[in-house]
Structure 1
Amino acid sequence: MTPAYSLKDLILYFLKLGTWGFGGPVALVGYMHRDLVEDKKWIGEDDYKEGLALSQLAPGPLAAQLAIYLGYVHYHLLGATLAGLAFVLPSFLMVLGIGYAYVSFGGLPWMQAIFYGVGSAVIGIIAIGSYKLTTKSIGKDKLLWVIFIVLTIITFVMEEEILWLMLLAGVAVWFVKAPPKWLGSPQVMAPVLFLQLQPVVVESRLWQIAWFFTKAGAFVFGSGLAIVPFLYGGLVKEYQWLNEQQFLDAVAVAMITPGPVVITVGFIGYLIAGVPGAAIAALATFVPCYLFTVIPAPYFKKYGKHPGIKAFVDGVTAAAIGAIAGAVLVLGKRTLTDLPTGLIALATAAVLFRYKKIPEPVIIVIAAAIGIFLKTFL
């Protein structure tokens, strides 16, 4: 079947999403569903669900992996590679520019003022995105709703995404909706076993950066935000490449730039070793997630319509969306710390719910201006 779009169309879409897609992984996966499944109808609902499930089960940044998988759907390896590059490149260039300004001017005090407004608006954006994703993907299925609610609560309480619960949800739905004829030979895909590599002893700072960020991309599960604790332990505590303030500024850069949150590794790499450090940090982080997406993708495509696997994917998808909703609550708790931030988030959600055609970048610019005004004059 000939796709309804060209590879050039897909590359242009991901270039735009990487340039204007604010809100982190939760918002970005919502934008992809809204744009590619609902509006343009380039990607089928089942293909999207399979991509979301695979992105949740594999280590690495959620939004980038979903972009890579959606590129693979109709244009295979070339589509996956170019979609992934197009999605990541704009925000990488932005964090390079911010890194240059940060080093040149000795920190970015204005960043906190912008983040005060933008961070609050982002909560409203991702709340609406999560709401739309939930109602569209889960529908009226009671079992999936139970899984969604349980994962939302657990993610909010534990403040982390728990992989084995997502797998358990998939198995539960598989057993209920399409029980195997014999349990000794399950027909779902076995979880990938990752080879534990031994640390490489190297002298070069660039080799150290490459090894550290490869581990970050290969062994950290969940959304781009899940990588933050891992980065803190290595960058501030172990290697002492950054101090506390620099690390907090790096997280702020991740939140105020569009595209995948994890692209802040480019900013961090720049602070450690300039442009080569930025390039190596970004490459080392994204190559593992690329491989963990394109290698199993053909099997997801080939066997994804099997009743047992479809039920498993439905269960994992419901659990993943529950984890996303829980992450929205966690982010809200951390970001909405006073009355102005709460009002900005509520106003953003209300405007997007009422006026669906307003572009998110317009809201981001307004929120940034409000943040600067509040921090400067109040």
Structure 2
Amino acid sequence: MVQTSERLPAGTAVPTHGVSFSQALAVWARIAALSFGGPAGQIALMHRILVDEKRWIGEKRFLHALNYCMLLPGPEAQQLATYIGWLMHGVRGGLAAGLLFILPGFLAILGLSFVYVLFGGTTLLGGVFLGLKAAVLVIVLQALLRIARRALKGHLQVAIAVAAFLALAVLRLPFPLVILLAGLFGFLAAQLHLPGFATKPAAADPAAGLEDHSLLGDSVPAHARPTVGWSLRMAAILAFLWAAPVVATWLVFGPGNVFTEIGLFFSKMAVVTFGGAYAVLAYVAQEAVGHYGWLRPGEMLDGLALAETTPGPLIMVLQFVGFLGAYRQPGILSPLEAATLGAVLTTWVTFVPCFLFIFLGAPFIERLRGNQSLSAALSAITAAVVGVIANLALWFAIHTLFAEILTWQAGPVALDLPRLASLQPIALCLTAGAAVLVFALRLSVMPLLGLAALAGVLVNSLA
């Protein structure tokens, strides 16, 4: 097993893997500060630091945890950090890793949301968001290609991704149903020994034994074997923490108040956001604009642009939605007070369930790491997520590049079609320029966003 070379203060309690809690805190803080670029970039960052650099966890165990987090609703990168933090130091390790991953983005988006509502109508900020929307569309396309290269290893995985895309874009099936069907297909494919899903003995895996070269090795830590009583207590505590603010807003403000609606809506989102932010934003935008009236058309893209420019999970864009919703329906509070409460409430009900899913589910997933059928099901779900993100990319593209969108429906088939005459040439040129910077010049996310914002300001000033 790899030994840590870092010196510890005298008297520091050190777990068997040799990494103290204070050392882990420093690493999680570093990851949180560098976690730009969406889930693909964040997962790559954690892999580089935790697998390659620190060697806390082995490659196979990292991918197993990632596949489980891809299965869960919510932000997979934040849940992956929580999972590995829990493996290293139990519940306090998971809480530290997960909370640190959220905190910088929460504070940054809260500040930017204030700027947005106070100064968003200015020509300068209008140009900034014009450019950022184009860049965000290209970033989503880049994430789609990255995940596709990792997840689509054979013809069957490609077929699953295509089927998931059609189920969402054409048949409008619910996200959970699409994910459930993909997992069921993967499980059955393993039983039938279909190509890409066939089970094999663990000893036949040439990578077997490589986990021993990580600090965690291949064993399950003692704290990762909780009793039924512990699991029930943890479930009760986290469920209470999740529900308490929603019940409180209902009692204080009433069932029809914006805060109650925010608490209930984003609690529902917390259990259906499979595939992370990219997978669910189209649905959230439709509901927030059409049903609740929290956002105006196009503002979801503004929120995603804010989330792309800050560290942390992209699902933090939901905080922006809650902020605007409460700002525009403040009730007895001032608009900015209401907006702050809406942002905090949205963040709370979005992320408390993430800790619940990890602390309750991860112990069982650890016990099933050698289960080939489960691995096949998770692999199929990962392939389906490619189709889910492709649906989001299409939705963003037509709403970024066209001013008018029509819905064509025939029976169970429903398609959002752009009115070609409403193509916006400026948006198209900015998107094409961003695509060249990303795919030809390999520009990273932050310089891309900066150049796109600058281009948007220049174009907007000349228009």
Give TM class, smaller chain.
0.7 to 0.9
Pick the aligned partner of 1:217 from 263, 267, 270. Answer: 270
Partner AA of 2:454 in structure 1: A
Q: What corresponds to 1:371 in structure 2? A: 456
Match of 1:279 among 329, 344, 353: 344
Aligned partner of 1:148 among 119, 142, 157: 157
CA contact (8 A) 2:71 2:378 kept: no
User: What's 1:98 paired with?
Assistant: 112
1:343 partner letter: G
User: CA contact under 8 A between 1:15 and 1:90: conserved in structure 2?
Assistant: yes
For the aligned residues, what is the CA RMSD?
A: 3.6
8 Å CA contact 1:173, 1:314 repeated in 2: no
Name 1:178's counterpart in structure 2.
Answer: 199
Distance verdict in 2 for CA 1:252–1:135, change over 3 Å: closer
Larger Rg: 2
Q: How many residues of Structure 1 are paired with residues of Structure 2 in the alignment? A: 349
1:146-171 Cα distance to aligned partner (Å, 9 max, x none): 23322333344434852134313421
With structure 1 as the length reference, what TM-score do the two structures score? Answer: 0.76
Instruction: Measure how far apart 1:97 and its partner are.
Output: 0.9
Instruction: Specify whether residues 74 and 105 from structure 1 end up closer, same or farther in structure 2 by C-alpha distance, changes over 3 A only.
Output: same
CA contact (8 A) 1:254 1:263 kept: yes
Contact 1:71–1:82, Cα closer than 8 Å, also in 2: yes
Q: 1:87 aligns with which of 67, 77, 101?
A: 101
Please state if 1:15 is matched with 2:32: yes
Q: Distance in 1 between matches of 2:160 and 2:399?
A: 19
1:168 counterpart = 2:184: yes
1:92, CA displacement in angstroms? 1.0
User: Deviation digits for residues 247-270 of structure 1, max 9, x if unmatched?
Assistant: 564454344444322212323333
Q: How does 1:180-219 map to 2 (within 5 A)?
A: 202=251, 204=253, 205=257, 206-219=259-272
| Distance (whole Å) between structure 2 residues aligned to residue 321 and residue 106 of structure 1 | 33
**Is the CA contact 1:153–1:326 (under 8 Å) kept in the aligned structure 2?**
no
- In structure 2, relative to structure 1, the CA distance for the partners of 1:250 and 1:316 (3 Å cut) is closer
Q: Does 1:347 align with 2:437?
A: yes
**Partner SS, residue 295 of structure 1:** helix
| Residue of structure 1 aligned with 2:373, choices 291, 308, 314 | 308
1:207 to partner: Cα distance:
4.0
TM-score, normalised relative to structure 2: 0.63
**Cα drift, residue 78 of structure 1:** 2.0
- Residue type of the alignment partner of 1:342: A
User: For 1:317-328, what aligned pairs fall within 5 Å after superposition?
Assistant: 317-321=382-386, 323-324=388-389, 327-328=392-393
Residue of 315, 318, 324 corresponding to 1:265: 318
Q: Structure 1 residues 12, 120: closer, same or farther in 2, change over 3 A?
A: same
**How far is 1:39 from its partner?**
5.7
Letter in 1 for 2:65: G
Distance in 1, Cα, partners of 2:100 & 2:182? 29
> What is aligned with 2:335?
none
DSSP-derived class of the 1:219 partner: coil
The equivalent residue for 2:428 is: 338
Q: Deviations over 1:17-69 (max 9, x none)?
A: 34xx13x3344344444554456544432223223322232222333323322
Change (3 A) 1:80 1:331: farther
Greater Cα shift, 294-303 or 231-240: 231-240
| Aligned-residue offset at 1:95 | 1.6
- Distance (Å, rounded) in 2 between the aligned partners of 1:237 and 1:228: 14
Q: Deviations over 1:291-332 (max 9, x none)?
A: 122210111112212333334334433444565466556655
Return 5+ residue gaps in structure 2 as ranges: 2-16, 202-238, 327-337, 402-426
- Alpha-carbon displacement from aligned partner over 1:80-108 (angstroms, at most 9, x marks no partner): 21122111111111121122223333646
Q: More relative contact order in 1 or in 2 (CA 8 Å, sep 6+)? A: 1
Between stretches 122-131 and 59-68, larger displacement belongs to: 122-131
Percent identity between matched residues is 29
What is the CA–CA distance in structure 2 between the aligned matches of 1:80 and 1:107, rounded to whole Å?
A: 41
Equivalent pair of 1:27/1:125 in contact (CA under 8 Å): no
The residue number in structure 1 matching 2:82 is 68
1:107-155 CA-partner distances (Å, limit 9, x unpaired): 46544433443344445555555555554566xxxxx422332233334
